[in-house]
Amino acid sequence: MGTTQLESVPEPKYWHLKTVLSEALDSEFSVGEILPNERDLAARFGVARATLRQALEQLELEGRLQRRRGVGTTVAPPRMGVAVGSRQHAWPDAGDDWQAVDCTVTAPPAAVAAALETGPDEAVHTVRRSRVSHGQPVAAELLYVPASSVPALSAIDAPSGPARARGVLRELQRLELDGRESAVELGSARAEDAKELDRLPGAPVLVVTTRFLVEGRVAALSVATYRADTCRLTFGDAGGVVIDEGPERRAS
Amino acid sequence: MGTTQLESVPEPKYWHLKTVLSEALDSEFSVGEILPNERDLAARFGVARATLRQALEQLELEGRLQRRRGVGTTVAPPRMGVAVGSRQHAWPDAGDDWQAVDCTVTAPPAAVAAALETGPDEAVHTVRRSRVSHGQPVAAELLYVPASSVPALSAIDAPSGPARARGVLRELQRLELDGRESAVELGSARAEDAKELDRLPGAPVLVVTTRFLVEGRVAALSVATYRADTCRLTFGDAGGVVIDEGPERRAS
DNA sequence: CAGTGGTCTAGACCACACC
DNA sequence: GTGTGGTCTAGACCACTGC
Q: How many CA atoms lie within 13 A of B228 on its CB side?
A: 30
pLDDT score, position A86: 63
C-beta of residue A196 within 8 angstroms of C-beta of residue A131: no
Which SS3 state, helix, strand or coil, does residue A53 take? Answer: helix
The pLDDT value given to residue A89: 62
How far apart are alpha carbons B79 and B98 in whole angstroms? Answer: 19
Q: How far apart are CA A60 and CA B187, in angstroms?
A: 10
B51 touches chain A (CB under 8 A): no
The pLDDT assigned to B149 comes to 86
- A204 pairs with which residues across the strands? A188
- Count of residues in chain B: 252
Beta-carbon count within 10 A of A214 CB: 17
Residue A238 clears pLDDT 60, i.e. is over it: no
- What is the pLDDT confidence band of residue A224, given thresholds at 50, 70 and 90? very high
pLDDT, residue B45, reads: 97
> Using a CB cutoff of 8 Å and minimum separation of 24, what contacts does A163-168 make?
A164/A103, A164/A125, A165/A100, A165/A101, A165/A102, A165/A103, A165/A127, A165/A128, A165/A129, A166/A100, A167/A103, A168/A103, A168/A125, A168/A127, A168/A143
What is the rounded average pLDDT of the residues A192-221?
92
pLDDT digits (tens, 9 = 90+) for A40-78: 999 999 999 999 999 999 999 999 999 999 999 999 999
The pLDDT of residue A155 is: 54
Instruction: Check if residue B128 sits with its Cβ under 7 angstroms from strand C.
Output: no
Residue of A129, A152, A150 whose CA lies nearest to A140:
A129
SS3 content of chain B, % helix, strand, coil (to 5): 30, 30, 40
Residue of least CA–C1' distance to C10: A48
Indicate yes or no: CB of B81 within 8 angstroms of CB of A183.
yes
Which pLDDT score is estimated for B55? Answer: 97
CATH topology match: A13-75 vs A80-234: no
Residue ranges of domains in chain A: 13-75, 80-234
What does A68-82 look like in DSSP terms, one character per residue?
A: ETTTEEEEPPPPEEE
How does pLDDT run across A155-189, given as a tens digit for each residue? 556 667 788 888 888 888 888 888 888 999 999 99
Read off the pLDDT of each residue in A119-135 and give the average, rounded to a whole number. 87
**Which residue of B19, B185, B205, B244 is the best one to mutate when testing the A interface, meaning the one whose CB has the most A CBs within 10 A?**
B185
A135 backbone dihedrals φ, ψ, rounded to 5°:
80, 0
Q: What is the pLDDT of residue B2?
A: 37
Which pLDDT tens digits describe chain B residue by residue (252 residues)?
Answer: 433 444 456 789 999 999 999 999 999 999 999 999 999 999 999 999 999 999 999 999 999 999 999 999 999 999 999 998 766 567 877 777 898 888 988 888 888 988 888 777 788 999 999 999 988 899 999 999 998 888 877 655 666 778 888 888 888 888 888 888 899 999 999 999 999 999 999 999 999 999 999 988 899 999 999 999 999 999 866 555 554 444 444 433
How far the first Cα of chain A sits from its last, in Å, is: 32
Q: How many Å from the CA of A36 to C1' of C11? A: 21
Residues 86-105, chain B, touching A (beta carbon < 8 A): 88-89
Calculate the alpha carbon distances from A18 to A84, B170, B188, B190 in Å: 31, 39, 12, 12
Stretch 12-41 of chain A: residues touching chain B, C-beta under 8 Å: 15, 18
β-sheet bridge partners, residue B188: B204
Third-level CATH fold of A13-75: Arc Repressor Mutant, subunit A (1.10.10)
Confidence at A2, pLDDT banded by 50, 70, 90 = very low
Chain B closest CA to A66's CA: distance in Å? 15
B185-224 residues touching A, CB cutoff 8 A: 185-188, 190, 201-202, 204, 206-207, 209, 211, 213, 216, 218, 223
Fold of A80-234: Chorismate lyase (3.40.1410)
Q: What is the pLDDT of residue A88?
A: 59
CB pair distance less than 8 Å for B233 and A185: yes
Quick one: A234 exposed, middle or buried, by C-beta within 10 A (0-12, 13-18, 19+)?
buried
